[in-house]
Amino acid sequence: MRGTAVLSTGCRPATSSGVNPGKPPTRVLRLVLEYDGTDFSGWQVQLGKRTVQGEVARAVQRVTGERVVVHGASRTDAGVHAEGQVAHLRTRTRIGCDRLVHALNAHLPPDVVVLRIDEVPEGFHAQYHATGKTYRYRLLERPVRSALRRNRAYLVRTPLDLERMRASAARLTGLRDFRAFCTEARTRGRTERRIDRLDVRREGDEMVIEVSGSGFLYNMVRTIVGTLIWAGIGKLSPDDVSAILESKDRRRAGPVVPPQGLTLVEVRYGDGPGPASP
């Protein structure tokens, strides 16, 4: 939840000085959300499925009476967690941001919570104006599965070579074409993305991979992790990883690892041009 307050214009209640007398003006609110993805069919509303987007919209309706669309910065998949998902919505409620945090949390289920709300300028869009995101993936590196972390980490029973993973990760940073690291069926348009940071570190019996970048293609983070695991077990060298990147051939990269190891840590908003800037 670092660096998410760049665009904030503070938490002021809406005034009634709008053009429609008697009808409160529309406010745009930016929400920071934490959720446990285990029992959700992902972020996005789907008919008959339990989704985060659906639960947040339902809580807003219970508190304000309005039917709103909650636009998320990232459409996290089923099983993926978030510590700092960002979303925006338009509302006419006059409830102040801090009070609204508590009101929504009182109506949200235990596995999703609003951490903060800020009023942002008209035109702000959580997805389109995001300038960077950070994801974390946890690998459990031990011979026996874990009961306590079964929904938080992915078990790799083969010992991993940390230095080889780090050397391979270094080949993926910078502005690159990540066509070989995405699932094409859901990827449209340009496949260049910029990875600013791709750290691999040991924490006890876990290998933690943290990646920050301008944006990520569909399944890109989980394919990078699958490829780094192949490097860690000696199946790929750093040069192989560079060659895969250059080949733009999805069939050469590693597998898409399961969702439960993945957490959306934060979404950043820069101060470049556009309607979202203060």
Tell me which of 77, 98, 177, 240 is the catalytic residue: 77
What x/- string results for residues 81 through 100 when contact with its own copies is judged by CB under 8 A? x-x-----------------
- The distance of closest approach from Cβ of residue 134 to its own copies in the complex, given in angstroms and rounded to an integer, is 16
Q: Which is nearer to its own copies, 114 or 180 (CB)?
A: 114
Q: For this structure, is 77 an active site residue?
A: yes
From 11, 113, 162, 167, residue interacting with its own copies (rule: CB under 8 A): 113
Say which residues have a Cβ less than 8 Å from residue 147's Cβ, sequence separation at least 6: none
Show the CA angle centred on residue 145, arms to residues 143 and 147, nearest 5°: 145
- The distance of closest approach from Cβ of residue 274 to its own copies in the complex, given in angstroms and rounded to an integer, is 30
Does residue 146 interact with its own copies by CB under 8 A?
yes
Q: How far apart are CA 183 and CA 180, in angstroms?
A: 8
Does residue 36 interact with its own copies by CB under 8 A?
yes
The tokens for 87 are 């979303």
254: left (phi over 0), alpha (psi -120 to 50) or beta: beta
Q: Which is nearer to its own copies, 65 or 204 (CB)?
A: 204
From 22, 144, 185, 190, residue interacting with its own copies (rule: CB under 8 A): 144
Alpha-carbon 267 to chain mean position: 7
Helices (H), 40-83: 52-64
Say which residues have a Cβ less than 8 Å from residue 159's Cβ, sequence separation at least 6: 141, 233
**Stretch of residues binding its own copies (CB under 8 A), selected from 109-117, 232-240, 243-251, 270-278:** 109-117
Q: Which is nearer to its own copies, 81 or 179 (CB)?
A: 81
Does residue 111 interact with its own copies by CB under 8 A?
yes
Q: What do you get for the CA distance between the two ends of the chain, in Å? A: 20
- Binding residues for its own copies, rule CB under 8 A, total 21
| Inter-helix orientation angle 220-232/162-170, to 10° | 130
**Stretch of residues binding its own copies (CB under 8 A), selected from 11-19, 106-114, 120-128, 248-256:** 106-114
Does residue 110 interact with its own copies by CB under 8 A?
yes
Q: Which is nearer to its own copies, 136 or 179 (CB)?
A: 136
Helices (H), 84-148: 97-107
| Inter-helix orientation angle 220-232/238-247, to 10° | 150
Residues at the interface with its own copies (CB under 8 A): 34-36, 81, 83, 101, 105, 110-116, 144-148, 150, 263
Catalytic positions? 77
